[in-house]
């Protein structure tokens, strides 16, 4: 003879202690009915979903989920630009009127997600601290993802400059938010050698 589940009507073996369909315990008189308010298969589904949600949240918060960004080039949430000036170079031109060009190279360690809101002002100074000249560009026009130094701040003049140091300013909404200064190695400037 077989048992019938009083909750769902499923036919069960004589020795069954609970319904394998709805989770109802057959010792209802002793235990008070259902094993819990949810059928057994539903409990397993809830547990699996909870584990997946918690595991996914952990992976995303740890940064393991984004394999496309290297730690050095992360578009950061603090809205800052971090760079290292690697040098200043220069050359002269004989085509037409003699001209002299200076440029700065830097490695960008991190950049903000929205490059359009930032400008880079590169200013060259002589040994007296007087400005030789400057160039202002948008970060969007300068930066691309590279492991190498990027050149920017190309300033051309017809008067022979004698540069001493360079200052690179990060500008957002018309305000300087960061500044980097580097002494110039004159051996890297062709027309001075």
Distances (CA, A) of 118 to 17, 49, 98, 138, 155: 70, 43, 33, 6, 19
Mean pLDDT of all residues in the chain? 81
Tens digit of each residue's pLDDT (9 = 90 or more) over 134-178: 999 999 999 988 889 999 999 999 999 999 999 999 999 889 999
For residues 82 and 161, membership in a common domain is answered with: yes
CA distance 21 to 147: 60
Q: For the chain, first and last CA: distance in Å?
A: 106
186 in any annotated domain: yes
pLDDT at residue number 1: 55
The last residue of a domain, from among 12, 29, 62: 62
For residues 93 and 163, membership in a common domain is answered with: yes
For residues 116 and 169, membership in a common domain is answered with: yes
**CB contact at 8 A, 33 and 23:** no
Residue 167, H or E segment: strand 163-172
Task: Give the percent of the chain with pLDDT over 90.
Answer: 40
67 in any annotated domain: no
Token couple for 118: 């930032």
Kindly report the CATH number assigned to the domain that includes residue 171.
2.60.40
For residues 92 and 182, membership in a common domain is answered with: yes
Q: What is the DSSP letter of 107?
A: E
Domain that holds residue 164: 75-192
Number of domains in the chain: 2
pTM over 0.85: no
pLDDT at residue number 58: 73
Q: Is the pLDDT of residue 64 over 70?
A: no
CA distance 53 to 43: 15
70 in any annotated domain: no
39 in any annotated domain: yes
For residues 17 and 82, membership in a common domain is answered with: no
68 in any annotated domain: no
Residue entry with tokens 């069954």: 16
Residue 181, H or E segment: strand 175-183
107-122: burial string, b at 16+ Cβ within 10 Å, e else: ebeebbeebeebbbbb
């Amino acid at each position: 003879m077989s048992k019938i589940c009083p909750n769902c009507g499923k036919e069960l073996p004589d020795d069954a202690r609970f319904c394998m369909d709805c989770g109802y315990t057959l010792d209802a008189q002793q235990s008070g009915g259902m094993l819990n308010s949810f059928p057994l298969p539903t409990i397993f589904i809830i547990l699996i979903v909870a584990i997946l949600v918690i595991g996914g949240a952990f992976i995303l918060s740890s940064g393991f989920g984004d394999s496309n960004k290297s730690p050095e080039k992360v578009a950061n949430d603090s809205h800052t630009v971090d760079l290292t000036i690697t040098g200043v170079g220069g050359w002269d031109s004989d085509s037409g009127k003699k001209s002299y060009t200076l440029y700065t190279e830097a490695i960008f360690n991190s950049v903000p997600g929205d490059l359009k809101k930032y400008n880079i002002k590169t200013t060259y100074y002589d040994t007296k601290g007087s400005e030789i000249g400057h160039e202002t560009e948008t970060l969007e026009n300068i930066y691309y993802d590279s492991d190498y130094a990027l050149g920017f701040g190309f300033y051309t003049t017809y008067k022979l400059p004698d540069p001493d140091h360079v200052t690179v300013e990060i500008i957002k909404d018309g305000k300087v938010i960061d500044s980097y200064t580097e002494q110039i190695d004159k051996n890297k400037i062709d027309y001075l050698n």
